[in-house]
Amino acid sequence: MLHLLWAILNIALALYFLYLLLGIIAKGMGFLNTKYKFLSIAIFGIGIIQLLFSTNSEENKGINYLVNDQVPHINYEAKMLTLEENLIFDTRLYVKYYRHQGKYIIYKSNSSLTGFVSGFEWEHTSTELELNRDNNTSYRVNGVLFWKLFNFTIYKQHQQFHGIIEN
């Protein structure tokens, strides 16, 4: 529920910024002489700064553990797991691995948010796989959920997910 409220706050501030921008274009700076002048100027200023200095860093946040390509005679397994389901978005994991001498070797690992992610950003930091005593595969995924407002990080929430991979 808190995630939904945060997303609504992000949308409300973005819409208010657009309202201010269009009002200033249509009526000039006199448009800001309202009851909430200080708040309007602050939101408008932050929005303009965000537009001017924003960067689009859409880099691959997946973690490649091996630099070479796939070894041809190894049987890789790939799994897609849902780590967490929220009201508005899910955290998902993709992992490609193989088993060698009783241990799991991770070839590639990536996790991401899917759904309505307004005001949130996920950074995948690590993935671990282990073989349990009862021959099940357990996983542990670490990452950071960034709570953002106007694309400025307000809070960093470190998260760890663990569970069993079903065959």
8-state DSSP, 31: G
> pLDDT by residue (tens digit) across 4-59?
999 998 888 888 888 888 888 887 777 777 777 787 778 888 888 877 776 655 55
Question: pLDDT grade, residue 120 (50/70/90)?
Answer: very high
Under DSSP, is residue 132 helix (H, G, I), strand (E, B) or coil? coil
Range in 64-68, 93-97, 160-164 the model is least confident about: 64-68
Give the mean model confidence (pLDDT) for residues 73-93: 90
Q: How many residues does the chain have?
A: 167
Q: Which two tokens stand for residue 99?
A: 């088993």
Question: pLDDT grade, residue 83 (50/70/90)?
Answer: very high
Task: Report pLDDT for 88.
Answer: 92
Q: What is the 3-state secondary structure (H, E, C) of 52-69?
A: HHCCCCCCCCCEECCCCC
